[in-house]
Amino acid sequence: MSKTLKVKGVGWDISAIGNAVWGGAKLADVLELIGINKPSQITPSGGKHVEFISIDKCKEENGGPYKASIPLSQATNPEADVLLAYEMNGEPLNRDHGYPLRVIVPGVIGARSVKWLDSINILAEECQGFFMQRDYKMFPPSVNWDNINWSTRRPQMDFPVQSAICSLEDVNVVKPGKITIKGYAVSGGGRGIERVDVSVDGGKTWMEASRFQKAGVPYTSDDASSDKWAWVLFKVEADIPMSAEIVAKAVDTAANVQPEDVEVIWNLRGILNTSWHRVHVRVGHSSM
């Protein structure tokens, strides 16, 4: 995005995402133990949001703890699968991932999955923490740092449909013949991936990639055998010309599709660049 116009934020590159098997207690079950039914929109005392407070202190909170919240309706919905997690990939959480306990809010940007959990509060209003109210919000291209009004936008929750090519780096040199193009696609809110389109000519023509979550098992979006929160891997083989712009774009089950260009989704905070992933490669020939 900064190539279009300078943005402020941590300089993430492509594929800033992780995918793991999480183990823990469902938040909905824990809340039920203190008398909050599932699902619930509001508690008898007027609570509508569940706030997570971290042990981690940060300068943005003037030395106070990192915190975030989600709606009570999401926290108490068993189908939303919000976890108080203490395991990752079959092992106890390590320190960097939030030991001993963290929140996992699947299908939602990682800023809401609070690590190093200290306490949980039931609130009538949304969490007023810095990272809920003055960061991680999506503004239109017309907003700049002189005219921004943070209160006009809701905190970002679900993440948009996105994909990335992982088998090739930008400006790779490849051997003549067929190449294999592989990567992942994912969409927020538990929406499945309906298809992944790949182009080797910058988007003039397209091929549909095969999709899978487990090796050798074809993926069907919204099928009982698929994991609605996990990424979907894709693969396609193609012959490429002497130099090629390889592009991937994904479509989710709600027919949301990635935008073609980053310029149309530019925002001053630099979040959610889900435009087509483009990788430039050229064919190299060995010489005697």
Q: Enumerate residues 6+ apart whose C-beta is below 8 A from 145.
A: 8, 268
CB contact at 8 A, 112 and 53 = no
- pLDDT value, residue 11: 80
- pLDDT value, residue 74: 98
CA-to-CA dists, residue 273 to 198, 255, 277, angstroms: 18, 18, 10
- pLDDT value, residue 283: 87
Q: What is the pLDDT of residues 159-207, one digit of tens each?
A: 999 999 999 988 778 888 899 999 999 999 999 999 999 999 999 999 9
For residues 245-253, average pLDDT: 97
Band (pLDDT 50/70/90 cuts) for residue 287 is low
For residues 207-231, average pLDDT: 93
The average confidence (pLDDT) of the chain is 94
With CA atoms as reference, report the closest residue to 39 among 22, 27, 52.
27
Q: What is the pLDDT of residues 43-71, one digit of tens each?
A: 999 999 999 999 999 999 999 999 999 99
Share of the chain above pLDDT 70, in %: 99
For residues 7-28, average pLDDT: 91
Is residue 222 over pLDDT 90? no
CB contact at 8 A, 69 and 77 = no
Q: What is the pLDDT of residues 101-149, one digit of tens each?
A: 999 999 999 999 999 999 999 999 999 999 999 999 999 999 999 999 9
Band (pLDDT 50/70/90 cuts) for residue 14 is confident
Side-chain half-sphere CA neighbours of 277 within 13 A: 26
- pLDDT value, residue 174: 87
As a whole number of Å, the end-to-end CA separation of the chain is: 43
Query: Token pair of 175, please?
Result: 């051997």
- Give φ, ψ of 207 to 5 degrees: -125, 145
- pLDDT value, residue 288: 46
- pLDDT value, residue 175: 86
- Going by DSSP bridges, is the β-strand pair 172-174/277-283 parallel, antiparallel, or unpaired? parallel
- pLDDT value, residue 26: 98
- pLDDT value, residue 285: 66
Task: Reduce the DSSP state of residue 32 to 3 states and report it.
Answer: helix
Is residue 286 over pLDDT 80? no
Is residue 87 over pLDDT 60? yes
